[in-house]
Structure 1
Amino acid sequence: MIHSMMAASSVLPLQQYIASLNSTCLPRILQVCSGVYFQGSIYEISGNEVCFSTGDVIKVTGIELLSVCCKDVSSDEKFELPINHTGLFKISPEVTPYSTVEELVKLRPVDLESCLPVTFTSRNKMTLEDVTLREGAVLTLLSVEDDRCRCHIRGNGEASAEVYVSLATRGEFYMCGGEERFTLREIMASPCLRLQRFHFVNTAMWQQTLVLSPVYQICAVMNLRKNVLRFPSSLEVDVVDITDMCKEVNFVSPLSLADVHSLTDEFFPVVVEVLEGPETGALFNCRWLPHLQKGTLLVFHGKRTSAMTVMSSLKSRKSQYFLVSKQYGGQFRRRPRGFDSVYELYVASMQAPGLKVSVTRNCEEVEEEGLPGLSVGEQLEVVGCQKVLLPCGGTERQSVDALVCQRLQDVDEGDEDEDVFLPLYMQGHFVEVLSDNKKYKLEDLGRMFKLPLNVKAVSRDPELEVDPLVGFPCLRVEGATLEPTILASFLHSPELCFEIPAQRISMSVCQSQHGLPWPVEQPPECHVECVTEVTDRFLHQFLKDAMTRDEPPPRPPKRNQFESTTRLAKASQSTPSQEFSSLTLRSRSESCSVPPPPARQATLTDRLLPITPLKHSAPPTLPARAAPKTYVRVGTHVKGEGQPLVFLCYCKLWSLPIFFSSQGHRGRLQQSTQTTTKKWRTCWQ
């Protein structure tokens, strides 16, 4: 059998066969003509053990280009480059001459027209019918017509022309390298370019002449094995194509969940076997996911497209996320939303006109910047958004976007509602004001309100043994989606069903020979698990797919540079507080007052007094004379006889009160701390 098949079809290395294979003609059935002898007879990749023996039959169902094998012509050294390698390559000129034009043409690819133009040069003079070409002339082959080829010629000082060269013309001809630059993907996509030799462009290895060949990952099944095989095309295996001669061999037909969902309703119900379980790092965190392992038997009851809602828990210790089907039977009450800026309030008002909020944190009025004051408990109703003129810290007013709100007054006060303008860049803290306390079904929430929405589950679904949504203080309805799902159950409990999202889980199954686990025409009553816990990865992917590209929140307008500088200067020159001013000694005893130092012009050294950290071992000495206006509010304090004389000054340079004692360490500078100041004030009072 093997010999007859080999005789009918040519035997090729696996790498060469796959490289010449068109993916549109898959699947193809191959027979192994020699086993694998690469690091032993067993080849293991990503946990898949691959072992081929002579005579094995393989059904290739898919190929994927992984990398490119580069072979140095001079040293036979091989290395691989990823298919997305960013380096560029140029065609290398050939070093082996051709003796005739016919030999050069015949050694080119069969489909010559698809890889034209081809450029070559002659080391000898060429005498044609009406012209003689000098040595070194470069010709571009355009087409082959019977026993001659049409070429384009352009030489040094020669006019461009087209000539016909006989295929029998003898000489010494060399193929020329082009100036075009190619990426690995471009080379691998062209059968003609694959036959060329290349060298790197602008790299240290530019002198290496390379032969490039693609390396594919092959997806296949075998007639004696159920699992899906994945292995590289670089395995040292010789194969023969027996697709046309192998009609009776039965292969496992792996189906993805998307393939199952595309089947007709007549396919269901059916018992299937898991060939490959979901990949690690899945999007789901539900009870049935860990049991979808290789060899598990499932019952697929049917397919449908389910309307589902994505929810996340708020105000809880551990964030959890859920995918909830519209069949959920519990009820919800709305919960107020919180907003931490005016811009968030603006975005929410665009989705829900007439939004009412209450201020949850005081906001002081900044008159020079046009920011209004807000008090805790004030209620606002969002009216709209418009351009307003605000000072924004400068002398001229600037036009900014502001949210127009109405201050809602109490009915008892009788005052009319007043408008307040909140710039979109303004910080604030608000909470939504809700007036209804109704209970809603999940489908009613999506129909009556704009999402996202805060809710609380107030009654459980009676169909669920344990309702995971009940007990959370607040749930956020992130959005809704339509999910193609497959209604499934395990073979040992066919009545307990769950929905598998066909586009969210990657796994493969095959139809099993097991019969349905119920009497004919007596299917069980299915109880569907309508709440599926998902991971944060699912939520991030969902929000990324559903996210609208909103503009970022606006920044505050640029303030006037002169006004900002003036404001900072005033702040730095502020006088001591009234409480500190009341503690001066001048009001206590004029006789004990100390006159201020004589005025003199301050020097640069005086203005830039060094600030040295205080040390206990070596206290710093005072400067000989202090600069004018460096110390203010000078006075004395005498507390009875025998008590030290204390001088109190306020240092504007360091913004600190400073004490001088007439006893102890004379002349020692003692910096005031909060505790020291408090003791001094208590003593003075």
Structure 2
Amino acid sequence: SIYEMFGNECCLSTGEVIKVIGFKINKLIASICENNEVSQLSAKVELPLNFPGLYKVVADKTPYVSIEEITRKISIGPTRFGHPCFYSPEDIKLANLTIKHGEQITFNSVEEVNGTMAVNCGVVRNNQSHSFTLPLSQEGQFYECEDDQIYTLKEIAEWKIPKCRNRIVKLSNVLHTWDCSNPLPENFDGCLILTPVYEVQAVMKFRKDIVHILSDLDVEVKDITDCYDISSFLQPLTLEDIFERTSKEFPMVAEIMEGPSGCPKPYNLLYTGKEIVIYKKYQATRVLASEIRSDSPKRHFLIPMSYKGKFKRRPREFPTAYDLEIARSEKEQLHVVATKAFDSPHEELFSVSVGDQFLVQQCQTTEVLCEGRKKLIDVLACEQILSDAYKKVLLPMYMEGGFVEVVHDKKQYQLSEICKHFRLPFNVKVAVRDLSIEEDILAAVPGLQFEEEITDSYLLISGASSPVESWEIPVYRLNMLVHLLNKDVQTVVPPVTKTTVEEVSEEQYYMVRRYENQSLHPPPRPPKKPT
């Protein structure tokens, strides 16, 4: 049979042996959903996996009848997406624990326990986690829990569509303006039913790349797994697979079977057939930064601590007095100018005019008269800067005004100095670019806001042939397949590591912030105006 693969004709000869290594969703067929059913008026549209937008997953109303069915149809694993949650409408009585009906059960991993395949699970009670196992033979009714996270279509396709089922999603945030090429209706913000179209991923005995075969290809095949030596085939590995290996297995030599597409330097050097050395795996710190601009879309960057450029401060903007309290520091006094007037409803508190300047002091409480009764409220003590004096004033914490920082500090800072001495978010611009980078993409950005420090997973790699530099590649943002080679590493000490500033898409930006903030408590809300 002859078929087309990525625009090229490929031939599957009679008798050719193919090793199937996986199934992957190639694209999604979307229908507008009304009342959990396909709308009779909507046409089906084809959505590529990189279709823009962020989506919420709607919990499937159809129950699973056993733990075994869940493990067969849903991805469970060590990565961030591989922890689905279910509940049972009936109590589940275990040897030392009873899972109450309706209680959220998190599925963490599948492994053999005392000779029986089981799922490692957990429930949270009173902020304490309780672990237990459920055998695959456990029967009952298990329903998906509501999921409040947001995902890209690609993440939903890889992790959130059960095998042999469709998935309903709700559009959470459109990241790009609508145009005539968008297959969805203009201003659409409803639900979609996604039907996956699969492809088979396979390796052939005399090819070093991955073969992608559409699932509707009309080819007859026979299962010969039990009577064939499959060790003669190459074993493709993702970056996640490499990262899960023990530290003792590094360094290792690998050949790229499928490189990342459309990537900037240095990732564009990772082409199919290139041999690389993978020296080690580790967690590394990055500063997440966004371009300062009033219109969208903004550019987003992950800056390594090894960045050698220098930054100068830029004024920060604060929408409320509460934000001034969060930003104030013991190391330097915060000096701001009001950009919006505020008329105080209480005599005890100060009314602000545009252009008023303040030195922020501290948070405190004070009594105000509200409808004939005294109330205690939070206020921000400041000094108003007059032409020849300072005046002590109180601003209500709930005040929705506007302030711009007056920057007196003209010093140039390294990235590490900013992270050590100042509280993020922090506004800067590049004063001296990093001369070790051929093209410093930060230097052309007029202003940057450092938003937060994040920790992410990286592999340190170089070319295998006479490498002069090494670089870090992100495990979860670079799609790549390799196979390991039985070769000795020429030198176990990696060459000098090249500094790489990674520009991330808006979808990746939201995902990075979501991962980093999963374990953090949400910030307190600013106080409300007393009534």
Under TM normalisation by the shorter chain, which class is it?
0.5 to 0.7
CA separation of 1:368 and 1:461: change in aligned 2, threshold 3 A: closer
CA contact (8 A) 1:359 1:377 kept: yes
The AA in structure 1 aligned to 2:323 is E
1:422 lines up with 2:396 in the alignment: yes
CA contact (8 A) 2:350 2:393 kept: no
CA contact (8 A) 2:425 2:452 kept: yes
Q: Which residue of 2 aligns with 1:336?
A: 315
The AA in structure 2 aligned to 1:422 is P
CA separation of 1:48 and 1:326: change in aligned 2, threshold 3 A: farther
After TM superposition, the structure 1 stretch with the greater mean CA deviation from structure 2, 442-451 or 257-266, is 257-266
1:428 CA displacement: 1.8
SS of match in other structure, 1:528? coil
Spell out the pairing of 1:24-423 with structure 2 (5 A cutoff).
41-43=1-3, 52-62=12-22, 218-231=200-213, 237-243=220-226, 245-247=227-229, 250-264=232-246, 271-278=253-260, 286-314=264-292, 319-349=298-328, 356-361=334-339, 363=341, 365-367=343-345, 372-375=350-353, 376-384=355-363, 386=365, 388-389=367-368, 391=370, 395-396=371-372, 399=375, 401-408=377-384, 413=389, 418-423=392-397
Q: Which residue of 2 aligns with 1:510?
A: 483
CA separation of 1:493 and 1:321: change in aligned 2, threshold 3 A: farther
Spell out the pairing of 1:468-487 with structure 2 (5 A cutoff).
468-470=441-443, 472-487=445-460
Residues 412-453 of structure 1 show CA distances to partners (whole Å, capped at 9, x for unaligned) of: 64x6x52413241x2222223556444432223222222211
The AA in structure 2 aligned to 1:442 is L
Structure 2 distance, partners of 1:59, 1:497, is: 34
CA separation of 1:446 and 1:225: change in aligned 2, threshold 3 A: same
1:514 CA displacement: 8.9
Instruction: Give ranges in structure 1 of 5+ residues lacking alignment.
Output: 1-40, 68-83, 92-179, 190-213, 559-685
After TM superposition, the structure 1 stretch with the greater mean CA deviation from structure 2, 365-374 or 529-538, is 365-374
1:225 CA displacement: 2.4
CA separation of 1:475 and 1:88: change in aligned 2, threshold 3 A: closer
1:479 CA displacement: 1.4
Give the root-mean-square deviation of aligned CA atoms. Answer: 4.7
CA contact (8 A) 1:497 1:529 kept: no
Structure 1 distance, partners of 2:18, 2:360, is: 71
Structure 1 distance, partners of 2:143, 2:322, is: 50
TM-score for both structures, normalised by structure 2: 0.57
Q: Which residue of 2 aligns with 1:164?
A: none
Match of 2:506 among 522, 528, 536: 536
Name the one with the larger strand percent: 2
SS of match in other structure, 1:450? coil
Instruction: Give ranges in structure 2 of 5+ residues lacking alignment.
Output: 29-57, 66-140, 145-160, 166-195
CA separation of 1:216 and 1:340: change in aligned 2, threshold 3 A: closer
CA separation of 1:359 and 1:182: change in aligned 2, threshold 3 A: closer
Structure 2 distance, partners of 1:248, 1:541, is: 38
SS of match in other structure, 1:537? helix
1:508 CA displacement: 0.8
SS of match in other structure, 2:443? coil
The AA in structure 2 aligned to 1:340 is P
CA contact (8 A) 2:318 2:324 kept: yes
CA contact (8 A) 1:371 1:423 kept: no
The AA in structure 2 aligned to 1:240 is D
Residues 497-525 of structure 1 show CA distances to partners (whole Å, capped at 9, x for unaligned) of: 33210122122112358998xxx559884
Structure 2 distance, partners of 1:297, 1:407, is: 64
1:311 CA displacement: 1.8
Structure 2 distance, partners of 1:324, 1:312, is: 11
CA separation of 1:423 and 1:181: change in aligned 2, threshold 3 A: closer
CA contact (8 A) 2:340 2:403 kept: no
Structure 1 distance, partners of 2:243, 2:221, is: 37
CA contact (8 A) 1:316 1:473 kept: no
SS of match in other structure, 2:458? strand
Greater relative contact order (Cα < 8 A, sep 6+): 2
Residues 101-123 of structure 1 show CA distances to partners (whole Å, capped at 9, x for unaligned) of: xxxxxxxxxxxxxxxxxxxxxxx
1:466 CA displacement: 3.7
1:88 CA displacement: 6.1
TM-score for both structures, normalised by structure 1: 0.45
1:52 CA displacement: 4.1
The AA in structure 2 aligned to 1:56 is E
1:526 lines up with 2:493 in the alignment: no
Structure 2 distance, partners of 1:354, 1:502, is: 39
Identity percentage of aligned residues: 28
Name the one with the larger helix percent: 1
Structure 1 distance, partners of 2:143, 2:441, is: 57
Across the two proteins, how many residue pairs are aligned to each other?
Answer: 375
CA separation of 1:462 and 1:356: change in aligned 2, threshold 3 A: same
Structure 1 distance, partners of 2:251, 2:237, is: 15
Greater Rg by CA: 1
Structure 2 distance, partners of 1:257, 1:187, is: 24
SS of match in other structure, 1:240? coil
CA separation of 1:421 and 1:45: change in aligned 2, threshold 3 A: same
Structure 1 distance, partners of 2:340, 2:246, is: 63
1:260 CA displacement: 2.2
Structure 2 distance, partners of 1:371, 1:553, is: 17
CA contact (8 A) 1:339 1:431 kept: yes
SS of match in other structure, 1:495? coil
Residues 379-408 of structure 1 show CA distances to partners (whole Å, capped at 9, x for unaligned) of: 1314115475354xxx44585854322225
CA separation of 1:286 and 1:187: change in aligned 2, threshold 3 A: closer
CA contact (8 A) 1:60 1:221 kept: yes
